Amino acid sequence: MEVQDVRDDLEEILYTREQIQQKIAELAAEIDRDYADKDVLIVGVLKGAVMVMADLARALKSHVTMDWMAVSSYGSGTKSSGVVRILKDLDADLMNRHVLIVEDIIDSGLTLSWLKANLESRGPASLEICTLLRKPEAAKVDIDVKYVGMDIPNKFVVGYGLDFSEKYRNLDCIGILAPHVYS
């Protein structure tokens, strides 16, 4: 789905598909360099990170293992609840593995800080985070994020995996959702 397919629903386009691919290529180059002599397990957080995982994994030049986890921190609205539940756990054992969590967006940071502590307790050799987007003004907890694609304003965004009520995930760009859609 492209921007003209949802025209009135977006207040502004933040990143086009080309700009997203450029950012992903930059992140992949950094990750390739940092993990040059290590086997990395990339963990995608469902469902939002599906597009980032798919494109990031293909942009990497080294072998990676991919695993998935589903957690829930949101209802169908636009505010983080801070309540995290595991809906689907990892298949992989993290003991002594180099683990890289791949996220679509860090908003309050509540989901990731919980996830990071949870995965840390499983004994990985290292644990880092890569997120395509981050909203610095929305941060409620401080988390150390090694790879950040772009910092964005504190607005509700959709597209490229990010949804509002399960819609817009298949939009090829990232845009700010117009308030009339959710109010």
Task: Give the binding site for ligand IMP (CB under 6 A).
Answer: 48, 73-74, 80, 103-112, 156-158, 162-163
Q: What is the smallest separation between the CB atom of 166 and ligand IMP, expressed in angstroms? A: 11
Is 144 an annotated catalytic residue?
no
Q: Which does 74 bind (CB under 5 to 8 A by kind): Mg ion, ligand IMP, none?
A: ligand IMP
Contact 93, 79 (CB under 8 A): no
Beta carbon of residue 66, minimum distance to Mg ion (angstroms, whole number): 16
Q: Which is nearer to ligand IMP, 55 or 103 (CB)?
A: 103
Q: Report d(CA 31, CA 146) in Å as an integer.
A: 10
9 versus 104: smaller Cβ distance to Mg ion: 104
Q: 93, 107, 142, 163: which is the annotated catalytic residue?
A: 107
Nearest residue (CB) to ligand IMP, 17 versus 47? 47
Site for Mg ion, rule CB under 5 A: 48, 104
- Cα separation, 127 vs 152, whole angstroms: 24
* 127/69 Cα distance (integer angstroms): 15
Q: Write down the least CB distance from residue 33 to ligand IMP, Å.
A: 26
Distant-in-sequence, close-in-space partners of 75: CB < 8 Å, separation ≥ 6: 81
- Look at the chain and count its residues: 183
Question: Is the Cβ–Cβ distance between 164 and 180 less than 8 Å?
Answer: no
